[in-house]
A = this chain, B = another copy of it.
Amino acid sequence: MLTVALPKGELLKHSIHLLQSVGLDFSAFLDSGNRQLQITDASGTAQGLLVRAQDVPVYVEYGQAQLGIVGYDVLQEKKPQVAQLLDLKFGYCRMSVAVKASGTYRSPLDLPANGRVASKYVNCAREYFQNLDLPIEIIPLYGSVELGPITGMSEAIVDLVSTGRTLRENGLIEIATLYESTARLIANPLGYRLNTDNIGELISKLRAAMMASV
């Protein structure tokens, strides 16, 4: 059976609505009382797998799901072996460099040599500063990255920004953008090439639904 990996969190609602528009109903995942991580669509043709956003490309890469929906930011950070098929346009955010608004840094080039940058996206951050030829130490954090500059542990952060509210509340401002991110449809490369479970048809429907909504 065709399996679609869906990301918990921000992108879930939109992902489920998109799949509903092509006839696959996984809306049970949106029930607040739901504890199931695997749901079969009412039509019996497809299964939804509800996992952490970062885990979506893992299930797709290993072929446990033929398709998946995930943010471009996760793909940039993990560089998984998956086929990127469609930009789904929702879930807009950007990967930004931010610093204390009260400080003097207004560009990444203002940061001191051997300065520190805290981030949950260590690969993205490292690559960005290497391309700028800036010797920066990346401090890997799992949460509340804004504490880096606030406590003085780092001069800057690299983090995902959507409304910018968290930055403002913590007295931080963006000084550069690494890239913009939206939700993407991804597929297992082999499954896509061999058209396993006729995924080509579903992909065509999703593409058409995207075109119609623009």
Contacts and interface: CB of A to CB of B under 8 A. Distances in A.
B143 A51 contact: yes
A144 interface: yes
A152 B52 contact: no
B144 A58 contact: no
A121 B205 CA distance: 39
Contacts of A142: 52, 54-55
A171 to B, nearest CB: 13
Contacts of A190: none
Contact of A37 (B8, B55, B144): B144
Interface residues of A, number: 23
Interface string A115-157: 0000000000000000000000001111110010011110000
A150 B59 CA distance: 12
A201 to B, nearest CB: 23
A67 B63 CA distance: 44
A109 B119 CA distance: 38
B139 A62 contact: yes
A64 interface: yes
A151 B49 contact: yes
Interface string A173-211: 000000000000000000000000000000000000000
10 contacts: A38-B150, A52-B141, A52-B142, A52-B143, A52-B144, A55-B143, A59-B151, A62-B153, A64-B151, A64-B152
Given A51-B143, A59-B151, 14 more contacts: A8-B143, A37-B144, A37-B147, A38-B147, A38-B150, A49-B147, A52-B142, A52-B144, A55-B141, A55-B143, A62-B139, A62-B153, A64-B151, A64-B153
